[in-house]
Chains A and B, each alone.
Chain A
Amino acid sequence: MKASLRVKRYNPEGGGKPHWGEYTLDGVSQNDSVLDLLHRIKWEQDGSLTLRRSCAHGVCGSDAMRINGANALACKTLVARLGSGDSVKIQVEPILGLPVVKDLVVDMEPFMEHYRSVMPFFINDESVPTDGRERHQTIEDREKFDDTTKCILCAACTTSCPSFWANGKYVGPAAIVQAHRFIFDSRDKGAEERLNIVNEQFGVWRCRTAFNCTNACPREIEVTKAIAEVKMAITSGIV
């Protein structure tokens, strides 16, 4: 089939302005991913088209972008999901709410700063078991935070969130997911401190449960639910 792509292009070097690049590709298969198509444009037509990508199968989180108006990983979005028949129209833009560096590449630093602000690391200063072996954890306790361990920091959730668009100081869903992963880990001792951080002015209460984040997550994490669990932990004081 034939694919017509509109790709948001922007190269500030030399004073360029944002504009749409239009590309046509023949011989496209239903099983091609949007990343495959962007690669074909870059490798066959215009080497200056710029994007991030690495693993190409949805585990590294490099290629989150806005595809036909919704955030997704380009490598996990197959043509079959965007249309059928003889031709398909695909529009690709950078994720929203972060400064664009060039074409589909955004500045990830504001996102990473929010991530780092929630103390996204295991805290337990108590001595380890004297037999030199692992700490124990029940299967049930391990299950409580399983969903949020899947996060790959692709930023699809945060950059789909209306509250984040409205105010970039909001830590955003991804950072709360990361906080959740530790708050609900029975081995971790930093829950109180983290709950205080996300209880701040730009913390969880900015979430208006729009569910955009849950829809955007390529790892199918129930992001809104995780945020709700963190809100509950703050109000009830029970983790």
Chain B
Amino acid sequence: MKPIIHTHDAIVVGAGGSGLMAALYASRGADVAVVSKLYPTRSHTGAAQGGVSAALGNNEEDRWEWHAYDTVKGSDYLADQDAVDVLCKEAIDAVVELEHMGLPFDRFPNGKISQRRFGGHTNNDTGKPVMRACHAADRTGHMILQTLYQQCIKNKVNFYDEFQVVDLIRVDDTIRGIVAVEIANGQFHIFHGKAVIFATGGWGRCWEVTSNAHSLTGDGAALCLRRGIPLEDMEFFQFHPTGIFKLGILITEGVRGEGGVLINSEGERFMEKYAPSIKDLASRDVVSRAIFLETKAGRGINGQNYVHLDVTPDTVNHYFKQDGYTDRHIDKEYIEAKLPDIADFTKTYLGVDPTEEPMPIQPTAHYGMGGIPTNVDGEVLLDNDTVIKGMYAAGECACVSVHGANRLGTNSLVDLVVFGRRSGMKVADYCKDAELLPLPDGAADEIMAEFERIRNNNGTVKHHDIRKEMQSTMTENVGVFRIQENMDSAVVDMAALKKKYRDEMAVDDKGSLFNTDILEAWELGCLLDIAEVTAVSAANRKESRGGHARDDFPERDDENWLKHTMCYLQEDGTLHIDYKPVVIGRYEPKPRVY
């Protein structure tokens, strides 16, 4: 069957927050198609809960420069500070624009957008947590996703729903389009365009316990890698401190923003030891490590590897008093109004009412700080400086880098609206003058052959078993704490698993219609590539910084390692590591204390 060819000025891949934002803006000056393996409203932006930060100062003094400093400090000084300035300055306008698009933010009594406290966001003068996270109850991501999709419908953006991207068409230093599979019938399609924007999200499914959807398999990042584009800072993957025990389902940091505290088996609020100033609202990497250390020291609940997140009014009010917040007091109704979805999750999956009992939580694989290298306009870089013509990326799959070694809570939503918008604008502008370069012959041949190979491979191993092994070795060896020996063994494991994937894997479903068996197998190939890059990048970095914490190199080493990792897949199949300097601005690196 021959591929069907479609031509549009710009092709957006992925319909989460960054993809839809990019599509909205690009469609103001260009003919845009959005290609997504899910119906847009199924995208994982919809799972984001607590808020989107912007220094609106609706209830107390705040400045975008404070947001920028907090972001740089949170990043453990690895973020590029010019990009962080763009992020935090434009966040204000972007959030206001979302409101103008109809996003139903919660409100303060004065009618302005309601804001709450969140981890690592502070008043820089006092060092105290600041109310910066704009929210719609605890479903802020859901409302962003819905609002942007609604606006895309209003603006008649073209959607190709349930079309899965499987290849990127590169000729020399230009991108000419993508190849996608129409999931419903297995038909291959070529989307030919002047510009491609990848907004394909993350790869949390490399690990066992994750907050990420099953669909987060790193497809976009893996395709870039395979087409010669490096991946930046892949060793930095965030483990969110509060996932539901065993399930990994996210419990928003907003719970702690509203006053919730972490408690160990001795009834101790242990974050006082690790972050004396802002305690439970320290950066995520700091809190995840604290939980890990507490459980390792035998202070997990029932001796197991979890602790309690307590947001019951009595506990919260007790600690408000202790922390000197004389004007703060919460009750059951307040929690139910501010955190309704959390209450629903814990009641459904744990039988726990969070207003009456503490929640069992453990760190959960959550967010890739690294990804496809871009500049602040979303243009993808082939090396430290060279832009590859016609290729853009935004959102979690991209690395601008604004998150450095550890992302602050709420900044993923800020990232996707700010850089989704910037890449959309840049693409609209680019498409005005750029010419449509011809497609190479047989642009879909290679990937169609790979699908045939997967379909007909004469093996005995199920992709699920390979996936489980990968997740197990990544959890064991490239998790919250790391040592050389373990990371090296993960690298070896990945090579073996990739061989097994090629030689021994078989699928049951040989048909064309809605064949999720083959698609899951293909996605596993992406995960394996990403897991290998992550393990290799991690094993190479001989320091601890942000989300990359090593027992054998416990300190940050600015002299040798204040630089971005750039990992390239070479033609012989091996990975090569190079580096890129970090852009330092107003904030010189200094020790990070919370």
Query: Is A85 close to B, CB under 8 A?
Result: no
* Beta-carbon nearest neighbor of A56 in chain B: B214
Q: How large is the interface on B (under 10, 10 to 19, 20 to 34, 35 or more residues)?
A: 35 or more
Given A76-B348, A101-B513, A149-B136, residue A57 in contact with residue B111 (CB < 8 A): no
* Residues of A participating in the B interface, judged by any CB pair closer than 8 Å: 11-14, 31, 42-44, 46-48, 50-51, 53-62, 76, 78, 101-103, 105, 108, 112, 116, 120-124, 128, 132-139, 142, 145-146, 149-150, 152-153, 181-182, 185, 187-188, 220
Which 8 pairs show the lowest CB-CB distances between chains A and B?
Answer: A122-B102, A136-B111, A47-B508, A43-B464, A48-B509, A121-B150, A47-B517, A121-B154
Q: How far is the CA of A57 from the CA of B141 in the complex (A)?
A: 15
A-B contacts, 13 listed (Cβ < 8 Å)? A11-B511, A13-B511, A57-B349, A58-B345, A62-B42, A101-B513, A116-B153, A132-B93, A133-B96, A133-B112, A134-B112, A137-B111, A185-B102
Whether A60 lies near B47 (C-beta < 8 A) is yes
CB < 8 Å A-B pair total = 150
State A22–B42 Cα separation when bound (angstroms).
29
CB distance from B76 to the nearest CB of A (A): 30
Chain B 95-122 interface residues, beta-carbon cutoff 8 Å to A? 96, 99-102, 104-113
Q: Which residues of A contact B99 (CB under 8 A)?
A: 134-135
Find out whether the CB atom of A55 lies under 8 angstroms from the CB atom of B213.
yes
Residue of A nearest to B512 (CB): A13
Interface check B242, CB cutoff 8 A: no
Chain B residues close to A by CB (< 8 Å):
38-39, 41-44, 46-47, 56, 93, 96, 99-102, 104-113, 136-137, 139, 142-143, 146-147, 150-151, 153-154, 184, 213-215, 247, 249, 341, 344-345, 348-349, 462, 464, 507-509, 511-517
- Residues of B within 8 Å of A61, CB to CB, are 41-42
Q: Is the CB of A48 within 8 A of B107?
A: no
- Of the candidates B39, B42, B508, which one forms a contact with A48 in the assembled complex, judged by CB atoms under 8 Å apart? B508
- B213 and A60: CB pair below 8 A? yes
Q: From residue B522, how far is it (CB to closest CB) to chain A in Å? A: 13
Complex CA gap A116/B41 in Å reads 13
Q: For the complex, would chain A's binding face be called helix, strand, loop or mixed by DSSP majority?
A: loop
A residues within 8 A CB of B464?
43-44
A46→B516 CA distance, assembly (Å): 12
* Contact assessment for A43 and B462 in the assembled complex, using a CB-CB cutoff below 8 Å: yes
| Residues of chain A with a CB closer than 8 A to B44's CB | 54-55, 60
Complex-state Cα separation, A78 to B341, whole angstroms: 17
Which among A54, A103, A121, A136 is the interface contact of B102 at CB below 8 angstroms?
Answer: A121
Cα A12 to Cα B56 in complex, Å, equals 55
A54-B38, A60-B44 are contacts. A132–B96 as well, Cβ < 8 Å? yes
For B38, the chain A residues whose CB sits under 8 A away are: 54, 60, 62
Closest partner residue, chain B, to A61 (CB atom) = B42
Alpha-carbon distance between A59 and B16 when the two chains are bound, in angstroms: 14
